[in-house]
Amino acid sequence: QVQLVESGGGLVQAGDSLSVSCGPSGRAFGTYAMAWFRQVLGKEREFVAAITWRNGNKNYADSVKGRFTISRDGVKNTVTLQMNSLKPEDTAVYYCAADPYGRREYTIGDARSYHIWGQGTQVTVSS
């Protein structure tokens, strides 16, 4: 069973930068898009950023535009989220997700589009 593994994350201060990366735990697989979501305990999982694999189109949540950058490495089959100017409200568990099919039944920012998920990595931003 294909799984995703996240790395990075941790504790930083407001205004700092941090990156999280994600890749398959085993063999590489074809994918239409990969994305990052985040979740705070007691709240719904929310979309952060996504990138389509073939042409590199990027989408961002309004709350992170201009501060976060998503990128992909087609050789390593990994996706990275570079987070700059971090704020305490960015504190959450960050999850990597992959859409291997590209059926586009839902929008790229909808969690239902993604069928493979990582276990999550904690990002904590102190004020």
pLDDT reading at 126 higher than 80? yes
Q: Which residue has the higher pLDDT, 15 or 75?
A: 15
Higher pLDDT, 53 or 17: 17
Residue among 103, 108, 34, 109 at smallest CA distance from 73: 34
C-alpha span between 85 and 102 (Å, rounded): 32
pLDDT for position 76:
83
pLDDT at 49: 98
Q: Is the pLDDT of residue 3 over 90?
A: no
Q: Which helix (H) or strand (E) holds 23?
A: strand 18-24
The DSSP output letter for 118 is B
**Confidence grade of residue 100 (pLDDT, cut at 50, 70, 90):** confident
CA atoms of 107 and 79, how far apart (whole Å): 19
pLDDT at 98 exceeding the cut of 90: yes
* Per-residue model confidence (pLDDT) at position 29: 73
Task: Report the chain's mean pLDDT, rounded to a whole number.
Answer: 94
pLDDT of residue 91: 98
Tell me the C-alpha to C-alpha distance, in Å, between residue 62 and each of 46, 47, 59, 104, 124: 11, 10, 9, 21, 20
Using pLDDT thresholds of 50, 70 and 90, give the confidence band for residue 15.
very high
CA distance 127 to 121: 20
Tens digit of each residue's pLDDT (9 = 90 or more) over 23-76? 988 777 778 999 999 999 999 999 999 999 999 999 999 999 999 999 999 888
